[in-house]
Amino acid sequence: MDLRRGHGQQQPPPPPPPVIVQQPYPSLYSQPAPPHSQQPGLPPVPVAAHPHAHPQPYPYGTPGHAASALTPSSATSQGSFPSPQDTQPMHFGQEHARKKQKRNKPTLSCQECVDRKTKCDRGRPHCTACVRRQTPCVYAERANLIEKTNAAATNGRRITKPPKNQPGTYGSAPVPNLADRGPVSGSTGLLSHVPYSVPKASNVFGVGAEHPFANYWTCGGGLAEVVAVLPHKYQADVLLERYFECVDPVYPMIHRQTFYAEYEHFWQLSDEAKVVADASFIGLMLVIFALGTQFQFGTGTTISERKHSAEFYASASNQALRMFSYLSTASITSIQTMVLITYFLINDNHASDGWAFAGVLVRQAYAMGLHRDPNIVTPDATPFEKQQRRKLWQAVLLQDTFLVVLLSLPPSATHTDVKVEDLDDSSSIALSDPTDIAYIRASWTLANLVQETICSQRSLDMPICPTARAKSKIIGEFRSVYRSFPDSFRSWDADQLARLVNEKPRVVRQTLFLFSNYHHNLMLVHASDCPESSVNLRLVLESAHDAITAFFMLWELLEQEARVWWVFNHRAFLEAMCIGNALQEVEKTDGDRQLAYKDPLYARGRDDIEKMVAIMEIMGKESDVAESRVSVLKDLLK
């Protein structure tokens, strides 16, 4: 039979396959044997196996047995080669036994993915695969231990590499977060970041052009000059009460009983003793008076008069810190005073000064060792003193984190080994307000997560989530943190808060601030661009609506306080901007402008913007910044 075309001759049968005899192959990494031990005509003794040889569980054979012919251990000390018996191929049974060696590498995937033999991204608390399958996600104890160890090893070293600029694209790349886009870059005093630089001196964020601390002090006046401007005792009592009613619930870092004891003791001192008292405590009293004045309503004074009085007390507090030499000396009281001065500056429309002052604050907190575990740096301190240090570090961390989120600047309070779980309610700190410890823990846990996932990336205009898997993991972490909040901070509605505002106003303020913080940062995660997938606009609108609802509730229940809290105001404005940007993206994507009016979710987003415009118009009678925000939001509605 002819097996080839064009040829009439029958081909002979193919030759039998050659017998392959294992021979030692020379290796690229082997070294030639010494001349006296190398036989002529033979290759040098090999060190590594041939690339096509079968892999073996052990590099030199099984334990307790001679190595195979492809290893140097089979050669004798005189340089001889293995005998033919050693070069015979391995029997199938022996090879099969070696392949069944038990693996020593621990399984890090969840049990469900291991059983199903599917890929697991090892996300905590639930991997993406289990979330999609709606199956329980359980990890082995050893896997959880390794995960905790890795997290602890990287904690405190949050260094983010900047993106590599492509040639010709610097300054023209799109903003990687939908929440940061919009026609606001040229509006002075509108947002808290600068899109350009100018050669002359200017205020950094376009907010608050005048000096924050008016100079009423002489060179030789000293602390006596500050003590002389203290209000009367009955006026001080009223301002102190307003502070603990409006400000302390949101930032509970001062132990009320201890402070009141020192406060009453100070007023009992003689005039001569007051001028040599602790200058940092006098500064703390004065900044409390300044914040209390900001929240003093219905006294017959105008907004301008109230603002002037508050700024005067703040200037006196700063002068007292100068008498204390706060740049070279630090104490618990001086750090508390600096935290409150920063909040006052922000509320007083001095975001630029507040940001700069907070930088000094963080450095002094580091120098004092507040970022370290009190059991390590102050082992002999009382449990109360250790708790005070933890509470104060939490206040510094919280202020830095959420100020950074609003200003899109790098975080400073990043290196710490103070643990959230070490803050307990077994001491006398929680006697007066039992919900404070739960609120501090929840805020602290949220701040840690925001520091790790959002702050550095936004400060470098990098995507918060580089991949779809990373976004899913971060969202899962945020939801896990939210589930850890006490029920009183999660399970609420408008009617319930309306009833509680008269019975437990402290809990209402804490609930609204925590709820707003959480959903604002979740909105930033949802709004982050991802190279692998587009932004889910519906999830962005949902989280933005939840965040801005907290501000609407604060305005409805405590309108006067909502006017004062700059942080809450600015955050709500950014959320309204994000909603507007999302609605514009809907029109670009679907090409149907009417869809933004028909879909209930999109219609609710427009209602949120319109409601924010109405509130800003009311505030615009007192603030130029509010007027500018009204014009920007109205442009989004056109």
Render pLDDT for 378-401 as a digit per residue (tens, 0 to 9): 999 998 899 999 999 999 999 999
The pLDDT tens digits for 163-203 are: 444 444 334 445 667 666 655 443 334 443 333 223 333 33
pLDDT at 226: 93
- Among 14-28, 143-157, 184-198, 363-377, the range with the most confident prediction by mean pLDDT is 363-377
Q: Which stretch of DSSP H or E encloses residue 303?
A: helix 303-324
Long-range contacts of 157-164 (CB under 8 A, 24+ apart): 157/415, 158/411, 158/414, 158/451, 158/452, 158/456, 159/456, 160/456, 160/457, 160/459, 160/460, 160/462, 162/460, 162/462, 163/460, 163/461, 163/462
- CA–CA dist 514, 484 (Å, integer): 13
Residue 234 predicted with pLDDT over 70 = yes
Cβ contacts of 399 within 8 Å, gap of 6 or more: 251, 339, 342, 343, 358, 361
What does the pLDDT look like over 256-315, one tens digit per residue?
A: 999 999 999 999 999 999 999 999 999 999 999 999 999 988 777 788 888 899 999 999
- How far apart (Å, rounded) are the C-alpha atoms in residues 454 and 466? 12
The pLDDT-based confidence of 611 (bands split at 50, 70, 90) is very high
Query: What is the pLDDT, as a whole number, of residue 91?
Result: 52
3 state SS of 528: strand
Q: Give residue 493's identity as a one-letter amino acid code.
A: D
Helices 256-267/233-246 angle, 10° precision: 170
Is 208 strand, coil or helix? coil
Neighbouring C-beta atoms of residue 287, cutoff 10 Å: 28
Dist CA 610 CA 622 (whole Å)? 20
Average pLDDT over residues 582-589: 80
What pTM was computed for the model? 0.70
What tokens does 278 get? 């602790």
Q: 494 or 254, which is more confident? A: 254
pLDDT tens-digit readout, 511-523: 999 999 999 999 9
Looking at residue 303, its pLDDT comes to 81
pLDDT tops 70 at residue 43? no
